[in-house]
Structure formats: C-alpha cells, structure tokens
Amino acid sequence: MKLFSTSGIRRKVSELPPNFVVKVGLAISKAICQNTGSNVIVARDPRSSGPMLEHAICSGLISGGSSIERKGIMPTPALAYHTHKTNACAGVMLTASHNPAEYNGIKVFDKTSMGLSPNDEAKIEEAIAKNDLPIQPWEKFGTDVEVLGSELYNKMLLDAVADIDFSVFKSVIADPGGGAACETIYNTYQELGINLISINGMFDPTFSARPSEPEAKNLTQLLETVKKQVVKSGNKTIGLAYDGDADRCVAVDEKGRYVPLDVLIALYAQFVVEQNAGKGLIITHVDASMLIDKLVADAGGKVKRTKVGDVAIGNMVAEEIAIFGGEPCGAWIHPKYHLCPDGPLTGLKILEWVVERGPLYQLVDSVEDFPVNRVKLNCENELKQVVLKALDEELSAKDDFKDILKMDGLRLNFEDDSWVLIRPSGTEPYFRVTSQAMTQKESEERLDNYSKLVEKEIKKAQK
C-alpha cells in the first residue's frame, strides 16, 4: 500500500476521511515512536480542513501512546525546526503545501528536521496495511497540550541576518498568499526594522485572494505593486512570495519582474559558493537547469543531483555535507540552520544576498538560462516501470552520452552539459520528457527524438 509521495500523504480532502487520518496517527505512534509516550509536535496551515485533520491525527497519536504538543497554524519549516530543537520524536505538519484549498495532507518530520526517510514511510504504510495499530490502555494514553507560537524558529530567523543592514531597501513587498507564513513574516520584518508592505497577509482558509502556488500568473497583484512602488523608491523595492505552508519562496526584482526560478537558484548557489571561499558542494535534482552547474563551477564549487523532492535533496545535503541544496520551485535548504526547505529563511537570505551583491535586477540581467522544452506522454501507471526498464536497456547500450543518471527516471547528460530527462510521474499516468540544450533548435530536436522513443516503448508495453 503506497501512501506517501515525494511530499508526504497528499490528497483531496474528500479522500482523507477522519477514520483514515486516525490510523495514520496510530501508525506514527507505533512505527516511529514505538508507543513509548514520546513527544510529537503537530501544526497545520490555514486551510479550512485543517482543524478536522488536526483532531483526527491527534486522536490517533494520543491513543497510540504519544504525547502531543499542538502548535496551531505555523509554517512547515517552523514545525520542522521546533521538532529538531526540542528533540521531539516526530513532527506532523497538516498541509498540502502549494496545492489548492480542496487538498490537504500529512507530512511527517524526524528529529533532524527532515521529512521521513522512505524506510520510515514504509513502516507507517506497513502498519496501516496490516492494521497493526494497537490502541494503548487508557492509563498509557499520551498527553495533549496546546503551545501556540514559534519563538525558537523566529529567533533563528532573526539571528540568521542579525548583522545585515536592510536600509538599502525602501520597502520589501511580501505576499504570503494568506498562508501559514503571514504572522511569521510580519513579526520578523518588524523586528528587523524592514519597511514591509504586506499583500494577502491574513490567514485565508480557502486561498481566495490568489492560488497557493507562487507562480508568476498567480502573483499579478504583487508584480503590479512592486512596479508602482519602484516608481517611488527608485529601484529600491523588491517582492517576495510564499506558498501555503511557506516551504517555498520566490522573488520579484526591482523592475517588477518575476525572477525565473532556475535563474534565481543558480545565481544564489553561485553566491553561496563565493561566500564559502570559492568551494563547496551544491545539491539539486535531476530536473534542474544546467545553468546551476555553470555558475557554481564559475565560482569554484561542484553540483550533485538526486531525485526530485525535498526529502531526497535534504538527505544528500546531510550525507555529502553540502553547503546549500534546493529545487528551482523555491524549496531551498540552508543546512547551516536546518534541513527542511524554508521559505521565510530563504526570503531573508535573498535580501541579504541583494544587500551584498545587488541590485537583484542587475544580477538577473547578467545571465541567460539555456533553452528548455517539455512534453507529457500518457502512460498507464502499471506500465511505467516496464517502459522505463526497456528505455534503460536501449539507451545504456549507446555511447551518445557523457553519462546517464538513473536515480529518478533517466537523465541523459551530453558532453556539453546539455541533457534530456525521461521521468515517469510519481502521481499521474504519464511520462515527462524534458530537454535542455545550448540552442532552442537543438533542445526541440532532442525533445522530439526522445519523445518518439518513449512513445514507441509505451506502445510496445500496451500490446
């Protein structure tokens, strides 16, 4: 029984009935905390379905023998950080992150501040599949306490940029989208003396003001507000936006332009390496731009890639002692502080970077990303591994590539660092094929060639 995706258990709320959520709580108590009365921290984002899930998951945890500390609404990274700093057995975040309000989910963190490993997730899935969910005798039930606020996390944010002079900005316009970061952003920026203009800065259970995902098309109000403010401030205003649970952050430069996500992470990764005396390892995933490799190499660092998903990146950051890791979507990990993608911390670190190297628009204009093209090809879920195996055998027999990365689909790396990624979706019935090359023509031609190859193998598997 597969319940966990790359970001925990995430479904439409109609597919998260309370009796199932209770079972997840019982399974966490048994598989992760061994029914020992260990402490579990529980928090949620502002979704209207959050209280229902909170009551259900807490019922399972308590009756399974775990003591719970309910933190109310807080960002996912705050929950992960508190779990780590208080040495709790686990942290449970009730969120569907950037997904629409009709979704919700359960993401579990261990005491290192990372999402659970695949092995630990499998233990939870096994306990539920076997209905091995013992309810403890009443005298061994866990305790329940509500401790609102995120003081430990807020202090970390303040300490992380304590020596930075933010007066270079006439204003910073932040759009938490009515999500979990609303109070954190307001309180932190007030403490730092930043002139904050807040958009969608109150908890919004239905994300009625804008969709939760901070894509350019969803940030019209932020883009327009930055442009208007820039007229007054003379290119001394930038914008930041977050998703529903604040594990992502994106930026709008001083010209009111949404900064391309691959460009933003590539430039920041270069800065991190430069700040580390021109050395250090950066971790990203197989679907990220080769611009990251170029800029990091220019600074003297190295890049390693892993599977898509913040847990895979966090694990490799920890194992390889990397100095930074992240996904282009805005989920960045700053290992000096903890190992969960952290939107509020990323926002402050972007401001720090701009203070030291900006303005942001000049940094963005100094580079140009390489052409990338993508396509999705329908493929039944049960055929994905058959198709992937056939493609692996065929492509591995060729000598057209510098190497092939196989940890998450097949990434075909060419001598000039251009690449093609063939990857089955983890949640939907199709393959994604992505091509990035030095020129648009080359990228399109490779996309066409390898898409046809994937389609051929899908048709074979369907016979």
Closest C-alpha to 351, from 180, 194, 149: 194
55 domain residue, yes or no: yes
434 domain residue, yes or no: yes
Residue 393 dihedral angles phi and psi, to the nearest 5°: -65, -45
On the question of pLDDT at 35 being above 70, the answer is no
Burial (CB < 10 A; 0-12, 13-18, 19+), residue 1, is exposed
Last residue of a domain, one of 316, 349, 365: 365
Residue 102 dihedral angles phi and psi, to the nearest 5°: -75, -5
Tell me the C-alpha distance between 344 and 41, whole Å: 20
Residue 177: domain span: 153-365
Burial (CB < 10 A; 0-12, 13-18, 19+), residue 163, is exposed
Tell me the C-alpha distance between 265 and 75, whole Å: 21
199 shares a domain with 82: no
pLDDT tier for residue 1 given thresholds of 50, 70 and 90: low
pLDDT attached to residue 232:
81
On the question of pLDDT at 37 being above 90, the answer is no
Last residue of a domain, one of 120, 149, 178: 149
325 shares a domain with 268: yes
Distance of CA 46 to the CA centre of its chain: 18
Q: Which residues are catalytic, by number?
A: 97
Tell me the C-alpha distance between 352 and 364, whole Å: 16
On the question of pLDDT at 400 being above 80, the answer is yes
74 shares a domain with 28: yes
Number of domains in the chain: 3
191 shares a domain with 294: yes
The percentage of the chain sitting over the pLDDT mark of 90, rounded to a whole number, equals: 92
51-70: average pLDDT: 97
428 shares a domain with 289: no
160 domain residue, yes or no: yes
Q: What is the CATH number of the domain that holds 61?
A: 3.40.120.10
- The set of residues, in sequence order, having a beta carbon less than 8 Å from that of 230 and lying 6+ positions away, is 236, 237, 254, 255, 256
293 shares a domain with 249: yes
Angle between helices 343-357 and 261-275 (to 10 degrees): 70
357 domain residue, yes or no: yes
On the question of pLDDT at 22 being above 70, the answer is yes
Can you list the alpha helix ranges (DSSP code H) found in 140-192? 151-160, 182-192
What DSSP line would sit under 274-318, residue for residue? Answer: HHTTT--EEEEETTS-HHHHHHHHHHT-EEEEE-SSHHHHHHHHH
2 domain residue, yes or no: no
438 shares a domain with 345: no
3 domain residue, yes or no: no
On the question of pLDDT at 337 being above 80, the answer is yes
54-61: average pLDDT: 98
Q: What is the CATH number of the domain that holds 409?
A: 3.30.310.50
222 domain residue, yes or no: yes
Closest C-alpha to 327, from 44, 1, 6: 6
Label the pairing between strands 237-242 and 171-175.
parallel
Last residue of a domain, one of 341, 365, 389: 365
pLDDT attached to residue 412:
97
- For 147, other C-beta atoms within 10 Å of its C-beta total 12
3-state secondary structure of 236: coil
119 shares a domain with 37: yes
pLDDT attached to residue 428:
79
Do residues 75 and 186 touch, judged by C-beta distance below 8 A?
Answer: no
433 shares a domain with 344: no
406 shares a domain with 352: no
234 shares a domain with 122: no
Look up tokens 């096994």; give the residue.
126
On the question of pLDDT at 142 being above 90, the answer is yes
258 shares a domain with 129: no
- For 68, other C-beta atoms within 10 Å of its C-beta total 24
393 domain residue, yes or no: yes
